[in-house]
Amino acid sequence: MILPIYLYGQSVLRQETEEIDANYPDLRKLVDDMYETMYASDGIGLAAPQVGLSIRLIVIDADALKESFPELEGVKLTLINPELEVLTDGKKVTREEGCLSLPGLHEPVSRYEKVRLNWLDIDFVEHEEVFEGFLSRIIQHEYDHLEQTLYVDRTTPIRKQLIRNKLRNIAEGRVACDYRVKQNAKKR
Ligand code: NI
């Protein structure tokens, strides 16, 4: 089932998230629905707050980017209760990002090159891995959603000023979208 994606301005994107356990109701169905929703909107990652749920759950399928990033071929990750740690060399890289909750916007964002992630998979098996390159960026972007942060929060003050009207339009329901969304009522 395709779920509506909550757009910028919806309060759930700024609410604290909770860890889940194996008793979370219909978790497998929810994860399937999140993948379906993500594919239907041509996304490569989706975090639970974007479908209106304040829980620590992320789905990623980066295979669609394999032309530009061969290392992303077949990369599909379901991340439950992830914990992210920035690795001490602390090097940052700037690249453009977009987000399904912010249709029509793409902005450069500076991110750490290397992070370590701990998480549980759909069977609640524990994993730990170090991620680099573009996958590290995708993970940091999605992890931010669990920490009430959107990528536009991380742009420079000048860029923030330049996109102010676009952000207001999204928050006030004046944005057209070719996928199912939940947004604030249109303000005139
Ligand atoms: Ni996003």
Mean per-residue pLDDT, 139-167: 97
User: Per-residue pLDDT tens for 44-100?
Assistant: 999 999 999 999 999 999 999 999 999 999 999 999 999 999 986 778 999 999 999
* 156 against 89, higher pLDDT: 156
pLDDT of residue 174: 92
Main-chain dihedrals φ then ψ at residue 115, nearest 5 degrees: -135, 155
pLDDT of residue 22: 95
Nearest to 146 by CA among 54, 10, 68, 23: 54
Query: How far, in Å, is the centroid of ligand 1 from the Cα of 126?
Result: 24
Confidence (pTM):
0.96
141 and 84 in contact (C-beta within 8 Å)?
no
Of the candidates 18, 142, 147, 172, the residue annotated as catalytic is 142
Query: How far, in Å, is the centroid of ligand 1 from the Cα of 1?
Result: 20
Q: Find the DSSP H helices in the chain.
A: 27-40, 133-146, 157-162, 164-171
Is 142 tagged catalytic?
yes
* 25 against 185, higher pLDDT: 25
Q: Who surrounds ion ligand 1 at CB < 5 A?
A: 99
DSSP for 60-78, please give it: EE-GGGTTT-GGGTT-EEE
User: Per-residue pLDDT tens for 15-32?
Assistant: 999 999 999 999 999 999
Query: How far, in Å, is the centroid of ligand 1 from the Cα of 63?
Result: 17
Query: How far, in Å, is the centroid of ligand 1 from the Cα of 99?
Result: 4
pLDDT of residue 187: 77
User: Per-residue pLDDT tens for 84-124?
Assistant: 999 867 789 999 999 999 999 999 999 999 999 999 999 99
